[in-house]
Chain A
Amino acid sequence: MMNDAKLDFLKELANIGTGHATTALSQMLSGRLFQLVVPDAQMLPFDQAADYVGGLEQVIVGIFVVVSGDVRGHMAFLLPVDSALVLVRLLTEDDSGEINELARSALQELGNIMITSYLNALAKMTTLLMAPSVPGVAVDMAGAVWQSILAGAEVTDEVTVIRTEFFADGEAIEGHILFLPDDDDFKQIARMLGLEEV
């Protein structure tokens, strides 16, 4: 089991990663500022994992990557469809209000940049390699997206989830970035940072 200090360490990683990710997003959106909500780090038992994202039937956009290298794992950027449409309008000036092919590729690219920024920040701190795959994009029920991510991570009895929520100032944009490091590899991060074995 993890003690509070170790959970704090995970939250700190999430803060740094998401800070870099939202800075990258801000640069794409002509300097709009984002606020981070206190990150959440948890070891979730499998039977509680499904409900973690909430609103299982609501339509969300999920951008998902597989992380390989010294630290393996899975990352996802989840946002309500309304927030995704605002981002699409700001990025492409398309205000058709639907997630069409152009919108999908804009969101894929945006997710790619954010996730890469997050991982680069962690990689720099730890000197460990963390390389994201090409992102997949799904527009679907939150439950189906999240469940597919957990299955992709082949979750056993519990899953480490590091999540940060963020909001934009002045625009209705909110989202979560989630990092699911593989358990063994995650210990490496702690070791590289001189922390005791987690």
Chain B
Amino acid sequence: MTEVFVNMGQISAFKTQGILTTVGLGSCVGVTLYDDLAKVGVMGHIFLPRSRERDAGAPPGKYADTGIPAMIDEAVRLGAQRSRLKAKMAGGANLFPNLNANSTSIGTQNIEAVTEHLKKHGIAIIGKDVAGDYGRKMRFFVDTGVVTVTAIGKEAVKI
């Protein structure tokens, strides 16, 4: 099966089959959308919670507020039905907790923003493995909708 690596700020998709993978999720959040009937899967790799004016030319997938709608559009373009889309997410860690002791970490802000924008678009989150202080790798098998999350020194998690 073809495996595509989804880098920071990117959005990639498969129909029927294929593996969408993101490695090295730290504070970033990996998000998947899946229509299990149409077998359409989209993955985004969200870098920061909110788009900023001084970064107007950024790809939509870089920020949660622009990324979630762009992912939905991509799923629909490939034949998914909006009402059938379900989401999963992983990442949003804080690798340097002592530097963020007095403020909300970027990881937490990313988790909150992704959750908020999915909710705004009426998409349920049916699986997640988020937060903590360690990085993750996320693989999305579009033929089944299964997402696996691995981390250094930890058991793989299926979400």
Contact = CB atoms under 8 A, between A and B. Distances in A.
B140 interface: no
* 5 closest Cβ pairs, A-B complex: A143-B24, A144-B135, A136-B96, A148-B26, A144-B26
A138 B133 CA distance: 8
Contacts of B57: 157
A151 B121 CA distance: 26
Give chain B's interface secondary structure class: loop
Interface of B: 7-10, 23-28, 47-48, 52, 54-55, 57-59, 62, 93-99, 106-107, 133-137, 152
A50 interface: yes
Interface stretch (A30-38, A56-64, A190-198): A56-64
Contacts of B94: 148
Contacts of A96: none
Contacts of A144: 24-26, 93, 95, 134-136
Interface in A47-72: 47, 49-51, 56-57, 59, 62, 64-66
Interface of A: 46-47, 49-51, 56-57, 59, 62, 64-66, 133-134, 136-148, 150-152, 154-157
A150 B95 contact: no
A144 B49 CA distance: 17
Given A144-B93, A144-B95, A148-B26, A154 B58 contact: no
B8 A147 contact: yes
9 contacts: A46-B62, A50-B8, A141-B137, A141-B152, A146-B26, A147-B25, A147-B27, A148-B27, A148-B93
Contact of A140 (B9, B58, B135): B135
B149 to A, nearest CB: 12
A106 to B, nearest CB: 16
A151 B24 contact: no
| Max count, chain A CB within 10 A of own CB: residue among B8, B98, B134, B135 | B135
A47 B7 contact: yes
